[in-house]
Amino acid sequence: MGEKLYDYEGVIHIHSSFSFDGHAPMEQILAAAEKSELDFIMLTDHDHLKARLEGWEGWQKKTLVMVGEEIAPRFNHFLAFNIQEPVLCGGDPEGKDPQKYIDEVNRQGGFGFIAHPDHEGTQLFHVKQYSWNNWNVNGFAGIGVWDFMTDWQKSLRGYGSSLLSFLFPAFVLKGPRKLTLERWDAMNQTRKTVGIGELDNHATVKKLLGIRFVAFPFHRAFAFIRTHVLTKTGFTGNHQRDIALVYAALLHGCCYFSLEYFRKAKGFRFTLEHDQKVFQMGDQVPLAENIRLSVFCPAKALIRVIRNGCEECRATGDRLNLTIDKTGVYRVEAHLKAAGITRPWIFSNPIFVT
């Protein structure tokens, strides 16, 4: 499968007690991250960078911490990274003009992702909808394609089923919404739009029958949606260099996202090969004769190759090989059979054949 790449797995979009609606201190989050063997976490507390000011950015034992911000008006939430100062919505509490804060993130030398674009909330438990409703924007690096909270909350349709969903959340996850995938595929046909997985966990405290409990403590939540970045060089222990390495992989789109509960995804590979050159996710490849598409999964799965939003081919196993003879935007999905049901597992970013 070509040159050696380093596969680092982490979680994007989490909230600590620095957020008004976060309940877990950084010490607790980091203990859970180390126990879960996460290489990095990307913190996104609401509307500030206090965790950075208090010294949490960088290597914390075995976990690399990046402090970003969730710009969070009523609608159109945006995950901003590599910014120097908090970006505020000012006189726009509804988020009607997200282009302004996207532009401010870029002005600071940062980049960002549209968060949980098709979030619906749930009326049963009075969770508001926090969707993205202004698509007349540009300058964003990518979008959250698979968000744990968006996916999980869709299962909350009745009290009995909701209890089962709370006890066994991984078993009710359906994968990215069809609408989100279709939009992402369409975007990538006009401009590179990186897809990430989001967790959006707050370790929310709930009360039932007078008993207080934490809905998803981080040691539990970290078993769900992760984002993997692939890098040509390994971490060095220098936090500035290593953070830059993660950011560069994300911006290029050399990353994939996955549900880790049933089977670890580390080791997944999706490449195109031509003339002894190997192309990775995020790369652009001119169409030529004998371009080989190769997929490797760390376990037997239903592997689907998607071209321009439509299935090009599928196979069951841990490998798939295909000769490419058409231009297009190619990405891969892997669906894993667990507890007798085929479930969403891995979603790659695309390779562009021009």
User: What pLDDT digit, counting tens, does each position of 37-68 carry?
Assistant: 999 999 999 989 999 999 999 999 999 999 99
Burial of 251 (0-12, 13-18, 19+ CB in 10 A): middle
Higher pLDDT, 202 or 192: 192
pLDDT number for residue 91: 86
Quote the CA–CA distance of 155 and 161 in Å, as a whole number.
Answer: 8
Note every long-range contact of 212-221, with CB atoms under 8 Å and residues 24 or more positions apart, other chains counting.
Answer: 214/23, 215/166, 216/169, 217/24, 217/28, 217/32, 218/14, 218/24, 218/28, 218/29, 218/32, 218/33, 219/31, 219/32, 219/35, 219/36, 221/14, 221/32, 221/148
> DSSP string covering 78-95, please?
EEEES-SS----TT-TT-
| Beta strand residue intervals within the chain, DSSP E | 6-14, 40-46, 58-60, 63-71, 78-81, 111-114, 142-147, 194-198, 205-208, 211-214, 225-231, 255-259, 269-274, 277-279, 284-285, 291-307, 310-324, 328-338, 341-348, 351-353
Higher pLDDT, 157 or 244: 244
Q: List, for residues 323-347, the tens digit of each pLDDT value.
A: 999 999 999 999 999 999 999 999 9
Quote the CA–CA distance of 107 and 94 in Å, as a whole number.
Answer: 22
Average predicted confidence (pLDDT) for the chain: 93
For residue 153, pLDDT over 90 is answered with: no
Percent of the chain with pLDDT over 90: 81
Quote the CA–CA distance of 335 and 341 in Å, as a whole number.
Answer: 10
Percent of the chain with pLDDT over 70: 94
Please give the DSSP secondary-structure letter assigned to residue 172.
Answer: G
> DSSP string covering 114-168, please?
E-STT---BTTTTBPP------------EEEEEEHHHHHHTT-SSHHHHHHHHHS
Enter the pTM of the model: 0.95
pLDDT number for residue 215: 78
For residue 297, pLDDT over 50 is answered with: yes
Confidence of residue 1 (pLDDT cuts 50, 70, 90): very low
pLDDT number for residue 125: 61
Confidence of residue 123 (pLDDT cuts 50, 70, 90): low
For residue 2, pLDDT over 60 is answered with: no
Residue with tokens 């990186």: 194
Domains of the chain: 6-259 (3.20.20.140), 269-353 (2.60.40.10)
- Find the angle CA(298)-CA(301)-CA(306) to the nearest 5 degrees: 105
Confidence of residue 112 (pLDDT cuts 50, 70, 90): very high
pLDDT number for residue 8: 98
Confidence of residue 24 (pLDDT cuts 50, 70, 90): very high
Tokens of 346: 């891995």
Q: List, for residues 228-237, the tens digit of each pLDDT value.
A: 999 999 999 9
pLDDT number for residue 266: 97
